């Protein structure tokens, strides 16, 4: 009887111990996972899942309410909007201003004179755009000038294109060159190669689905402010003179203008002379006569522009690193645009603003980056980027 009671007492103690042990183990496990710091996967999933189309669309809408060409008042407004957004997130925010040489159009015209005596002035602006807001199509840093000559199709304006023209007996000297964008050359290279062969001026078009669209851009060589090559163009800082040879060599020697594919078609359909090489005709996306020119029509092409000093504004937000604060991860894009900039660049700017919002969300959950992150919103494209780095 005593032995039975002893065994029963032992069994109760054993089971009680095991029961308490499992309860404690379960509680400890659950409590550990509840209080343990979030994992990298948790932060990653939170970052991804917190993005919303509505938020991105709201940012993009604010950024693209008006055209915001660098150096203009609307461009300043977008800088202030980005700054306000960073500050609303309590991020360390600052603005750096630079005074740089920018280029703007004053007047342009392209008039076609046909052999039968008829005259046609090409429409240079895109349909549907208010010219009171949107800058007229132009090539930044193109010199002012006038040209009167027969048009000649130069394809992409590459060395091998000029060789093909010569092989077909086409002399381009004195002509108004018609070139299409592409072929691995920059706008500046296209214009300078044409100038080296005696072409008077260049009209440049971009092939695409929207035949009335015009691609604005720069024809200056190199990157950054031409008046402060190799150093930052800070306000009241050292500047070269605009007539300095180091500055002048960055500008093309002949004037140029971007035109729409629709305008280019009118010119290309009028050309006579030798046939285009088969490869040119096969790849050309717009209608043409299949001829190279020159002429027989004449083109009267005039462009007037101005170069002037303007202030651009870079906006930055800094998230200090926890382990390597003196090492930086740069994330950003330029903010200014030739017109409204919904795709280039402000789809990127909208993403940048939302990334900032989501970083702050993670920081509130305990996350900190290993290295310092600098969110960069540059103005005037390469000008703002290059001057800041310099």
Strand partners, 331: 375
Beta carbons of 274 and 120 less than 8 angstroms apart: no
Beta carbons of 347 and 60 less than 8 angstroms apart: yes
Beta carbons of 187 and 256 less than 8 angstroms apart: yes
Beta carbons of 265 and 288 less than 8 angstroms apart: yes
* C-alpha Rg value of the chain to the nearest Å: 32
Which of 71, 92, 53 has the alpha carbon at shortest distance from 335?
A: 71
Report helix, strand or coil for 275. strand
Report helix, strand or coil for 11. helix
Beta carbons of 203 and 176 less than 8 angstroms apart: yes
Q: In what order do the strands lie in the sheet with 176-180?
A: 151-153, 176-180, 201-205, 256-259
Strand partners, 139: 217
Strand partners, 218: 140
State the catalytic residue, choosing from 207, 272, 306, 381: 381
Cα gap 84→344, rounded to integer Å: 22
Beta carbons of 72 and 290 less than 8 angstroms apart: no
| CA angle in degrees (0–180, nearest 5) for 240-102-199 | 90
End-to-end C-alpha distance for the chain, whole angstroms = 96
**183-210 burial string, b = 16+ CB within 10 Å, else e?**
eebebbbbbbbbbebebbbbbbbbeeee
Cα gap 93→374, rounded to integer Å: 10
Reply yes or no on whether 324 is catalytic.
no
Residues with active-site annotation: 381
């Amino acid at each position: 009887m005593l032995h039975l009671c002893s065994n029963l007492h032992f069994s109760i103690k054993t089971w009680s111990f095991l029961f308490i042990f499992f309860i404690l183990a379960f509680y400890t496990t659950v409590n550990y996972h509840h209080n343990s710091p979030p994992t990298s996967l948790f932060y990653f999933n939170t970052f991804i899942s917190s993005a919303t189309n509505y938020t991105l669309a709201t940012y993009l809408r604010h950024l693209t309410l008006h055209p915001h060409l660098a150096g203009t008042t609307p461009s300043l407004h977008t800088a202030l909007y980005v700054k306000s957004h960073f500050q609303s997130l309590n991020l360390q925010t600052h603005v750096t201003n630079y005074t740089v040489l920018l280029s703007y159009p004053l007047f342009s015209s392209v008039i076609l004179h046909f052999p039968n005596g008829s005259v046609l002035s090409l429409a240079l602006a895109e349909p549907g755009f208010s010219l009171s807001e949107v800058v007229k199509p132009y090539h930044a840093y193109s010199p002012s000038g006038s040209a009167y000559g027969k048009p000649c199709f130069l394809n992409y304006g590459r060395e091998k294109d000029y060789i093909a023209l010569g092989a077909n007996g086409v002399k381009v000297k004195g002509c108004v060159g018609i070139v299409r964008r592409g072929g691995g050359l920059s706008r500046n290279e296209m214009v300078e190669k044409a100038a080296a062969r005696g072409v008077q001026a260049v009209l440049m078009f971009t092939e695409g689905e929207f035949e009335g669209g015009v691609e604005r851009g720069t024809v200056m060589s190199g990157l950054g402010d031409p008046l402060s090559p190799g150093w930052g163009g800070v306000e009241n800082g050292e500047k070269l003179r605009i007539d300095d040879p180091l500055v002048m060599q960055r500008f093309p020697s002949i004037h140029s203008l971007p035109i729409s594919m629709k305008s280019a078609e009118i010119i290309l359909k009028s050309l006579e002379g030798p046939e285009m090489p088969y490869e040119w005709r096969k790849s050309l996306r717009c209608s043409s006569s299949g001829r190279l020119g020159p002429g027989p029509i004449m083109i009267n092409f005039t462009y007037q522009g101005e170069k002037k000093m303007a202030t651009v504004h870079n906006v930055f937000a800094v998230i200090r690193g926890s382990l390597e604060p003196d090492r930086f991860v740069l994330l950003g894009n330029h903010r200014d645009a030739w017109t409204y900039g919904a795709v280039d660049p402000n789809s990127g700017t909208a993403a940048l603003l939302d990334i900032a919002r989501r970083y702050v969300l993670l920081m509130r959950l305990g996350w900190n980056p290993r290295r310092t992150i600098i969110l960069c919103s540059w103005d005037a494209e390469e000008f703002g980027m290059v001057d800041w780095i310099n």
